[in-house]
Amino acid sequence: MKNRPIGIFDSGIGGLTVAKEIIRLLPHESIIYIGDTARVPYGTRSNEIIAKFGIQLTDFLLKRNVKCLVVACNTISAVALEEIEKISKVPVLGVIKPAVSEALNTTKNKKIGVIGTYATINSRAYEKEIKKQNPDVEICSTGCPLFVPLAEEGFSDHPAAGLVAKDYLGSVKSSGADTLILGCTHYPILSGIVKKIMGPEVSLIDSAGPTAKQLQELLKARNLLADNRDPSYEFFVTDAPKRVLQVAGRFFGDTINGRLKKVSLD
């Protein structure tokens, strides 16, 4: 049981940042990753469709006998985590709880900013989790939909990204938050620009590291930590045009090129 793979999924290839961190922290774990590149982005879709797609990705991984599921996508974690937990017979970890715990450990003035896709922000999932863990914290959240294509274009220090970021981040900056959750798989790519606008005193929280750490704790608690000497890594996407391969390299590193297999969820 413990040497079965960890299933990781995302609406696209952004979740590879989470997979990369899991591989770094847990080098004996085998991994199966699936990104729904045929239907990304999810962040501008309705909750019903996001949940339907999330369940299809869950089924794909459960059929491959994974020992646990990591929902690397903030949008699916925000909208459909409960539904996924209901159908899963293995433990499920989303990215919201780990990022919130990290943000609460970081903030000093108890003011936290959250940025994400429209679906994530409208779901108020981050706010609910923050209030659950600490009701005294003030929260300012805002949707930054254009950050996804900007990150995919590799505009990490392009002036256009700077202009968009300045516009999006105005309210979070004036809220006085000392900690900002980057509540989307793509935003860490733009962290340089975000940091420049928010200022050096604001800490940025990226979900990849905290999620990998909470996964390690979850596996340890359930006696599920693997001891594979030769772990396997499988990466699936639902569409693989040349651009997806280039962007995947940006999120995971060149080592991913040539290893993405195309599958259909039907």
Catalytic residues: 73, 184
**Does 40 contact ligand DGL by CB under 6 A?**
yes
Binding-site positions = 10-11, 42-43, 74-75, 185-186
Residue with tokens 């569409």: 239
**Nearer to ligand DGL by C-beta: 4 or 186?**
186
Nearest to 120 by CA among 211, 215, 11: 11
Whether the CB-CB separation of 117 and 184 falls below 8 Å is answered with: yes
**Nearer to ligand DGL by C-beta: 13 or 139?**
13
**Out of 4, 6, 7, 11, the residue judged to bind ligand DGL by CB under 6 A:** 11
Bridge partners, residue 92, by sequence: 69
Amino acid identity, position 72: A
Whether the CB-CB separation of 75 and 142 falls below 8 Å is answered with: no
Closest CB 45 distance from ligand DGL, rounded Å: 8
Site for ligand DGL in 48-87 (CB under 6 A): 73-75
Closest CB 14 distance from ligand DGL, rounded Å: 4
What does the alpha-carbon distance between residue 201 and residue 195 come to, in Å, rounded to a whole number?
9
Residue with tokens 């919130």: 100
Binding string to ligand DGL for residues 121 to 140, with x set by CB under 6 A, is what?
Answer: --------------------
Site for ligand DGL in 184-203 (CB under 6 A): 184-186
**97 three-class SS:** helix
**Nearer to ligand DGL by C-beta: 67 or 98?**
98
What does the alpha-carbon distance between residue 174 and residue 246 come to, in Å, rounded to a whole number?
36
Binding-site positions for substrate = 10-11, 42-43, 74-75, 185-186
**9 three-class SS:** strand
Binding string to ligand DGL for residues 84 to 123, with x set by CB under 6 A, is what?
Answer: ---------------------------------x--x---
Number of residues that bind ligand DGL (CB under 6 A): 17
Largest Cα separation within the chain, whole Å, is: 50
DSSP codes joined into one string, 23-85: HHH-TT--EEEEE-TTT---TTS-HHHHHHHHHHHHHHHHHTT-SEEEE--HHHHHHHHHHHH
Closest CB 117 distance from ligand DGL, rounded Å: 5
Closest CB 148 distance from ligand DGL, rounded Å: 5
Give the β-pairing of 179-183 and 111-116: parallel
**Out of 12, 94, 98, 162, the residue judged to bind ligand DGL by CB under 6 A:** 12
Site for ligand DGL in 144-183 (CB under 6 A): 148
Closest CB 65 distance from ligand DGL, rounded Å: 25
**Binding region for ligand DGL (CB under 6 A):** 10-12, 14, 40-43, 73-75, 117, 120, 148, 184-186
